[in-house]
Amino acid sequence: MDTAVEVRELVIRRGGREVLHGISAQIQRGVITGLLGPSGSGKTTMMRAIVGVQVVRSGRVTVLGRPAGSPALRRTIGYLTQSPSVYADLTVRENVRYFASLYGIASDDADQTIRDVGLADQARQLVGTLSGGQHSRASLACALVSRPELLVLDEPTVGQDPVLRDELWKRFRQLADDGATLLVSSHVMDEANRCDRLLLIREGEIIADDTPAAVKAAAGTDDLDQAFLTLVRNRTEEGS
C-alpha cells in the first residue's frame, strides 16, 4: 500500500482536555478518504495535526515521508479550513489569483479553478458580498488552485445545494484520478458513499477504517447512516 499520511498513536489536548486519545491510521495515496464523525469528535483537530498547525502531545504524524509541519510540505498540501479563509475586501478572482501567484501558477489556471467551483459569474464580485455557499467555494478554489499533492478539505460541501455538491464531488474524483490524495471531512453519509476509504471517528477514537462497502458489511446493513449508528452503539456497549 502506498501511504500518503501515517498517523501513529496520536494524542492531542485542547483547552486542557484530551481530545484525541492515541489514534492511528494510514491514508492511502491517490484516493479519497472520508473523515466522518459527530460534531466535536476530533475531525478538525486530526486535520490540523496532518497539516502541521496543531500542537501534538505525543505520537507521530508523517506526511509524504516527512514529519507533519515540515517546511518542505508547505507547497504540497492544500488545506481548506472549516471557516472561510479568504479576503473579504478582494474579489473572487483577486483572491484566487493571489493564492495562485504564491505558487507561481498562471492566472489562466486560477480562472479555470474559479470555473471548476462554479463561481465564474461571481469572479468579479467582492468576497464579502457573496452568499455563504459561494464564500466557502471561494475558499475551496484557493485551496485547489496550486494543484497540491495532498488536499485536506474540512467540510468542503457545507452550505452547497445538491447539484453543486455533486459537481464538487466529481471534481474531487477527477483530482484523485489525476493522482492527488484527498482527505475530506463530512457529516453527510451520501458523501461518505463516494469515498474510497472511510475513517470513522467518535470521541477522539477511530472506530472504523475501511471501505464504505466493508463498513456496511461489518454492521450488517446497506445503509451507511445505519452502519455508523450500529458501530457507535457496539463500541459503547464494549466500553460499558
Ligand X SMILES: Nc1ncnc2c1ncn2[C@@H]1O[C@H](COP(=O)(O)OP(=O)(O)OP(=O)(O)O)[C@@H](O)[C@H]1O
Residues that bind ligand X (CB under 6 A): 14-15, 19, 37, 39-45, 82
C-beta closer to ligand X: residue 58 or 107: 58
Handedness of CA 13, 74, 153, 121 (dihedral sign): positive
Q: Which of 44, 122, 134, 139 binds Mg ion (CB under 5 A)?
A: 44
Looking at the Cβ atoms of 53 and 217, the one nearer to ligand X is: 53
User: Using CB distances below 5 to 8 A depending on partner kind, what does residue 15 bind out of Mg ion, ligand X, none?
Assistant: ligand X
Rounded CA gap, 33 and 189, in Å?
Answer: 13
Binding mask 64-103 for Mg ion (x = CB under 5 A): ------------------x---------------------
Number of residues located near Mg ion, criterion CB under 5 A: 3
Angle (CA) 192-166-181 rounded to 5° is 55
Cβ 54 to Mg ion, closest distance in Å?
Answer: 12
Q: Which does 45 bind (CB under 5 to 8 A by kind): Mg ion, ligand X, none?
A: ligand X
Cell 477504517 sits on residue: 209
> Is the Cβ–Cβ distance between 35 and 43 less than 8 Å?
yes
Q: Name which of 40 and 65 has its Cβ closer to ligand X.
A: 40
Which one, 64 or 198, has the nearer CB to Mg ion? 198
Judged by beta carbon distances under 5 to 8 A according to partner kind, the member of ligand X, Mg ion, none in contact with residue 67 is: none
Q: Answer for the pair 80, 135: CB distance below 8 angstroms, yes or no.
A: no
Taking the complex as a whole, the smallest distance from the CB of residue 185 to ligand X amounts, in Å, to: 7
239 binds, among Mg ion, ligand X, none (CB under 5 to 8 A by kind): none
Using the minimum distance from each CB to ligand X, give the nearer residue, 20 or 123. 20
Judged by CB under 5 A, does residue 146 bind Mg ion?
Answer: no
- Which of 63-88 are b and which e, b meaning 16 or more Cβ less than 10 Å from the residue's Cβ? bbeeebbeeebeebbbbbbbebebee
Query: Could you identify the residue written with the cell 474579489?
Result: 91
SS3 assignment, position 125: coil
DSSP bridge partners of 36:
186, 200
Query: Please, what is the minimum distance in Å from the beta carbon of residue 24 to Mg ion?
Result: 20
> Shortest approach of ligand X to residue 214 CB, angstroms?
22
Q: Return the number of the residue (43 or 135) whose C-beta is nearest Mg ion.
A: 43
Q: Which does 160 bind (CB under 5 to 8 A by kind): Mg ion, ligand X, none?
A: none
230/221 Cα distance (integer angstroms): 9
Beta-carbon contacts of residue 100 (< 8 Å; ≥ 6 apart): 106, 107, 109, 110, 113, 145, 146
